[in-house]
Every structure is written in C-alpha cells, then in structure tokens.
Structure 1
Amino acid sequence: MQECLGFYAWQGNWERLFGASFPQTTDQAGVAPLLSRVPVVWFSFDEAGNMTTQNAYANRPKGWEKMVDACRGRGIAVDMTVAYLDGPKLEKILADDSITDRIIAGIEREVALFDGVNIDLEGLGSKSVHQADSRTLVRYNFNRFLNKLRDRLQRLNKRLYVCVHPLNGWFLGYDYREIARLSDGLVVMAYHYGPTPEPYEPVEQSVTLALASGVPQEKLILGILTLKPYEIPETLAEKVGIAQKHRIGGIALWKISFLNEDFQAVLRRLLQIK
C-alpha cells in the first residue's frame, strides 16, 4: 500500500500522533511513523459558501502551525480537510455556482500552507429521498464542483482526495468513476454497517464494488473507523487485510485520537513498521 492516512480531528490527536503532550514531540512513540498523510479537519463553510475554521464539522485548534511543522519535519504530508455533513443543505449548495465558486475561492486562500485538499462532503443522494433521475443531478453537481476545484489545485501543484460513502450504503450521490478521474485518491468510508465490530463481508464488498465501478486500484483508499466497538484489534487486522488483498492504494484511519496502543501494534505489524 502506498498511502496510510490518519485524520486529525477535534481533541486528543497530538499525543497519539507525536507521543508527547503538546507542544512536545518524541521519536520513540506515537503513530507518526505509520502515516503518509494527515488530513486535518479544520475547515468547513456556511450555507453561503464562506469558509470557516469553527463550526459543527470543523475545529482548528490553537497552535495548529506547530502540528503542520512537526509533520513536515517527519516527511508527512498535511492536507486541509473541508467538511460538511448535512446532505440536503449540501445538495442545494452544490447546485448554486455562485456558492461553490465562493467555496473554491476560500480553499484557494487557505491551501498554500498545505500539501493538498481532502473533500469530505457527506450525505449526498440519500435512498430515502432520491430516485435515479434526481440522484443523477446530485452526482453531476458534485462532479462539476470537483472539476473546478481540481483545475485550481493543479495550477497550485496541490493534491486532491475525496471521501465518499460506500456503494453498498445509503447515500449514492457519488460518481465513483468520475471522482477517481478527478482526484488523486478516493476514500471509501466503509463503516456503520452494523452490527459491531464492523462485519467483514460488506466492507470487502465496498472495495470490490468500487473497483468494478472503474476506480483504479492505486487510487482506492479504504476508510476504517478505528474506534471500539466498531473495530477491535482483531477486526482492524482483517480490514487492513482487505486493502492488502485487493492491492489498493491504501487505508484511511478515522481518527488519530482513536488509535490506542492495541490498534497501533496491529498497524505496525501489518504495515511492517517498527
């Protein structure tokens, strides 16, 4: 696997990442050696498309610059995550060019300090709301937004990653083939299937469906919720094994603060990191 992403969101991440209390770091502990990229969940927007670093979906902490510098010093890429989790509102936002242009302009203003962007726009195309025709429009609007964003990021030499719901899940407003074409990585959030721990079969199916839809192996990233009871060490090993079995691009761990010593031991063993 080429990539191991660890999301840095809300509290408790620094000590897990660097093995010491903020602002200290150590090379003898922490999950930093496991990670290739850290998407930081510090950005969102309001219904008018204005960028914010503090709302229900994002929280940029004090001293955030130290975290970016510490990752860079270890060769870990840092991506700005732009998160919005209200599907119905999001669908209206994505249908309005003036709002999406404002979002993209906001991303452009912030991205200079980061290696790329991780787009986490959730809840599109709910089965309870949409039929095939209306879902097609939702996908089209999201693709249009990503296409414009990708063009801006390419000029700035920044990477683009996109989080999506699984194809065997409830939200189907994501055109996997096109998103994979536009992005450097497609992160499938393969969890919340129930019961817990997450069952093996639907998680593996989320990978095979993504590959069958046209996502290249090297761009597919399996998202894993590393929180008990959703995973335990034994089932985390199984999920990482799915990524290795299908030779996909990597895994994405939600989130760093959930990576206790037992989970860390599993990851070190499977990723062959001492």
Structure 2
Amino acid sequence: MKTTKRLWRKCLLTLGVTGLLIAAAVNSETTVTQAQASSAQGAFAMSYLYFGNSSSYTSQVDKSGQALDEVSPSYFHINADGSLQIDDSFQASFVKDMHQRGKKVVPFLSNDFDQALGEKAIDNRENLANQIVQAIQKNQLDGINLDIENVGADYRDKYTDFVKLLRDKLPSTMEVSVAVAANPTGATTSWIALYDYKALAAVSDYLMVMAYDESYPGDPTPGPVASLPFVEKSIQYALQQAPANKIVLGLPFYGRYWNQDPAADGAGLSAQTITKLVNAYQGMVRYDTASQSPVATFSIGPTDPAYSINGKNLDIGDYTVWFENEQSLKAKLKLVSKYQLKGTGSWSLNQETSDTWDYYSLWANGFYFTDMQKHWAQADVLAAANRGWMLGTAADRFAPDAALTRAEAATIIVRVLGLTGEVGSGSASFSDVPAAHWARQSIQLAKQSGLIQGISDDRFAPDQIMTREQMSVLLSRALHLTSQSGGGAAAKVFSDVPAGSWSAEAIAAMSSYGLVDGYAGGTFRPSASLTRAEMAALLSRAQPLLTK
C-alpha cells in the first residue's frame, strides 16, 4: 500500500478583546449527544510526512494547528544489506521545533514497497533493531513506526519478532508502532497476511491500520480509495484481533485517477491537486452514497492549458477521480468514536485541503459541532468537551457565541469539581427552579457547596446571563483563590472595580493568577456578559489549578 511513496491555539484572548470565558451545559441534557472521551487530550492523531521539501516540514505541521500529537517523517530506509539508512531529509532543527510545540517525532522505517529490501531487513532484524535504537537515542527522536510492506506471509512470525526486539530494546517511554495493511476480508495469504494483528498489538503501542488503497495503482477499474464499508470492515477485523485502544485508523489525504492510458490507471493525486484540477477544467463532482466517496470528472481538451504533475503534463482526454472530501472524511472520522479507537493517522501531511483541520479534531473526538469549525475557541471547547465539562446545545451545535446563563454556569462548575450526591434536605429551593428544571440538581449542589447564591432568598434567575464579575467570584470560590494567596503576579487595578465592591477580592485573585485581564483603558467591565466559547478558554487557563 502507499505504493506512490519512498515511501490550545488555545487562543487565550485577553478580556480586553473578548471578555471572560465559559462553556456550558445545554438547556436539555437529554436531547444532546455527548462523546465518551477518556481524557482531555481526546483521540490521538498522527500523520506521516513524506511529500514536499523537508525544510517546509515545520510549516506543513503548523497548518494543522493543535490537531496532531505526533508526526512521522520519512527518515529511515533500508540499505541493500538490510542495514539502516538515514535519509538526507533528517533535520535536528525540525525535531526541536516539534518538541517545542509539544509534538512527538516518530520516524517511519520504510522498505519502499520493495519485497527484497523488506525481507533483508527482517532477516537482519537484530542488527537493524540495534541501529534503529542508536539512531533514535542519538537524534532525540520519540520512537519508531514500522512500515514494511509487500513482504510475504511466510515472514509473519519473523516480522513480529522484529517488532518485539525493538520494544524490548527501547524504553517504555519511546513509541514502537506498526503500520498494518487493511484486511477487511480476513485474508490469510499474500503480503496482507504478513501482519499478525494480535501478536503485533501485544508488543507495540498501536497498530496504524492503513484503511486505504482499496483501489490501487494499476487497478483497471475506477473506484474509491477508501469506501466507508471497506474502512468499517477493516476496523471490525482489527477489533477481533486487538483492543480498541491499540487501533489507529489510517485515513487518506489523496485520491486516484483514471483516463485512457492504462499505464496511469489508479495514479495518485493529492486532495489539494484534485481540487485545483476540478476548478481548472470546470469539472463536476458527485457523491457516491454507496461508498460514501466523492467522484470527480473533468476533461482536458486540445486547446486547454496544460497541467503538470511531477514534471509531466496530463494527457488530453477524460478523467475520473475518486478522492476524499469533507463529507467522506467526516463519515470515517465518526468511526473513531463509534468503535472507541485510539485515534487516527493519515497519509500524508501536506496532501490535504486547508479546510481539513477546521473539523478534523472535532469529528475524531465525536463532537459534531458545525458552528465550531474555524472558530477561535475550537481547541478550548474540544478540551473542555473531552473532559466532560461541556455539552452542545444540539448534536451538531455548540452555540459558542451565545451568552452563558447562571444555570449553565452552575452546571459547569459542578461538573468541573465533580460534585455529586444528594442535595441535603435542608437545602433551600428556588421558586423559579422547579423540580423538572434541567439544571435543578446542579444549582442545588452549587448552592449547598457555597459556590453560588440566588439573586434573592427564593429566586435563582437560571436564565439570566452570567456576568464577568459573577464568574470571577464563582471560579475563585471553586478554586479557593484569594488575593492574599497570590498567583505569582501583582493583581491589576481596574478603574471600574472599586476596592470595596462585592467582587473586588475575587477579581483581584483571578488577576493575580493570570486568569483574567481587562480592557484597554484599564477597565474590567464587571457587568458585561460571557459567552460559552469564552468560558471554554477560561477553563483552559484554569485547568492546571482545577486538576491539582
């Protein structure tokens, strides 16, 4: 497979720009789908780096924002004698750049689909493993991803032994992962059977299931690179052999084209290039519902301008291109949550269209908020959602710019602090929070814990907006912050927060911990409202204190 290869922006805006921040629950929790993420980090995401100049690798990764936890560059290859070849593309500066961004660098070892090289590497596995370990340690890399392909099933046990050698020789803190061919039919012959999923999973951190190349170079019949049924069956087979938390779903950022030249059947094109071709030649795109894949058609006429790919002009004629777009990738990303997989991998970075990262992390984590695509607070909303601190207002909406209500604020704080249990019999009830109110339990728990009060003895005003000063008081109580305890910085003085006001102490405490800021001109605007997106960003700031 992959036969064409040699192979929180947390946007912590100051209150002076957007105001204090908070995300919240919905008005009816029973109508909303919530993903069952296991941690704030959510689904794991990695991508291979192969195409493009190695000097542009950092900029390629930066285009993905915070979506990727790990990148796997094409640094390791195999010499004719089965020894390790370190590619000229290796740059220590790139490794440093990624580590500064909090991303791991795990190069992949490729035999470039060369059967003889793959066999030689496996036969030479003891020496090769030692060389790989030495190269990883010398170059401050974070592990190894093995991508040996097109080697027969008779090498199955030897290949597993190779992976086990690496796992034994490397510290547990360093990754050992394996790219495995998709096997939707459970094939036991051909090179696809090289991979003993069960045994490999036992000696590696994860299996990157290459759920693509359903159609391949040389395939005479146009068809999808990764139809949804093909991908889902590949996952189901993997789960019969290995636990879900060791399965990474590989996704394609490319397509394949067919024209009148049999030699070009199934040739690969990046998603970026396909978009340009369709636009340049006024092509058409239809969505095939059976495969859940887009299909493009276009024609290049004798008088049309030439289009060059890899130094060769495309021939005149009619073209059919099967590829991936937002709709098809979202359908595949949903499978990560459906099957509770470890996460996703992709082949390969810099082939995707720029809008891919607008939705990728949301869908991979099971949060289908269309109104969070391109939103400045996406990373913060995703982090809070993965922690279970927030829900959407509907399965496909988060309403990031809606004002936060007092009921929502109480619910969020109860979730953040993990407050549970029965409300005490002596706890005061509010006339405007009846027994059927969606937030009654949270409001009662927050009141009982001394975190929030009503606007009077018998009224809570659940639908009233939460102001900046109210949230400062609420969060400072939840975090037990005081201006005397101090957060390492002097509290700012705001002209519109009198020293004797009811919220002055809380605002000073929050300021000293760097959780809030003011507006230009030295004001705080204590009565201004908060948005749900703003709270998500505030929670990102406060998270180190919330989890102490």
TM-score over 0.5 for the alignment? yes
- Fraction of identical pairs, as percent: 21
Structure 1 residue 34, shift from structure 2 partner: 0.2
Whether the 8 Å contact between 1:42 and 1:53 is mirrored in structure 2 is yes
Between the aligned partners of 1:7 and 1:86, the Cα distance in structure 2 is 16
In structure 1, the residue matched to 2:479 is none
Residue 143 in structure 1 maps to residue 160 in structure 2: yes
Match of 1:14 among 48, 54, 58: 58
Q: Provide the secondary structure at the position in 1 that maps to 2:324.
A: coil
In structure 2, the residue matched to 1:102 is 127
Match of 1:52 among 74, 85, 90: 85
Structure showing the higher helix proportion among its residues: 1
Structure 1 residue 65, shift from structure 2 partner: 1.9
Between the aligned partners of 1:197 and 1:46, the Cα distance in structure 2 is 31
Structure 1 residue 196, shift from structure 2 partner: 2.5
Whether the 8 Å contact between 1:9 and 1:42 is mirrored in structure 2 is no
Between the aligned partners of 1:206 and 1:105, the Cα distance in structure 2 is 33
Between the aligned partners of 2:157 and 2:231, the Cα distance in structure 1 is 26
Q: What amino acid sits opposite 1:15 in the alignment?
A: S
- Report matched runs for 1:46-195 at 5 Å: 46-54=79-87, 60-61=89-90, 64-86=91-113, 88-90=115-117, 92-93=119-120, 96=123, 99-112=124-137, 113-125=140-152, 135=153, 137-154=154-171, 157-168=173-184, 171-194=192-215, 195=223
Q: TM-score, normalised by structure 1?
A: 0.82
Q: Provide the secondary structure at the position in 2 that maps to 1:69.
A: helix
Whether the 8 Å contact between 1:197 and 1:232 is mirrored in structure 2 is no
Between the aligned partners of 1:17 and 1:11, the Cα distance in structure 2 is 12
In structure 2, the residue matched to 1:129 is none
Q: What amino acid sits opposite 1:102 in the alignment?
A: N
Residue 205 in structure 1 maps to residue 233 in structure 2: yes
Q: Provide the secondary structure at the position in 2 that maps to 1:172.
A: helix
Whether the 8 Å contact between 2:115 and 2:149 is mirrored in structure 1 is no
Deviating 4+ runs (over 3 angstroms): 271-274
Structure 1 residue 159, shift from structure 2 partner: 1.4
Match of 1:248 among 341, 351, 375: 341
- Radius of gyration: which is bigger? 2
Q: Provide the secondary structure at the position in 2 that maps to 1:154.
A: coil
Whether the 8 Å contact between 2:212 and 2:225 is mirrored in structure 1 is no
In structure 1, the residue matched to 2:11 is none
Q: What amino acid sits opposite 2:200 in the alignment?
A: I
Q: What amino acid sits opposite 1:248 in the alignment?
A: L
Between the aligned partners of 2:145 and 2:113, the Cα distance in structure 1 is 17
Q: What amino acid sits opposite 1:210 in the alignment?
A: A
Q: TM-score, normalised by structure 2?
A: 0.42
Between the aligned partners of 2:323 and 2:248, the Cα distance in structure 1 is 18
Structure 1 residue 260, shift from structure 2 partner: 2.0
Between the aligned partners of 1:67 and 1:95, the Cα distance in structure 2 is 29
In structure 2, the residue matched to 1:235 is 328
In structure 2, the residue matched to 1:3 is 44
Between the aligned partners of 1:102 and 1:121, the Cα distance in structure 2 is 16
Between the aligned partners of 1:88 and 1:51, the Cα distance in structure 2 is 16
CA separation of 1:91 and 1:37: change in aligned 2, threshold 3 A? closer
CA separation of 1:241 and 1:49: change in aligned 2, threshold 3 A? same
Question: Would you say how many aligned residue pairs link Structure 1 and Structure 2?
Answer: 243
Q: Provide the secondary structure at the position in 2 that maps to 1:5.
A: strand
Structure 1 residue 16, shift from structure 2 partner: 2.6
Structure 2: segments with no counterpart, 5+ residues: 1-41, 216-222, 255-270, 272-321, 368-377, 380-548
Structure 1 residue 119, shift from structure 2 partner: 0.7
> Could you report, residue by residue, the CA deviation over 1:222-248 in whole angstroms, capped at 9, with x for unpaired residues?
001112343111111111111221110
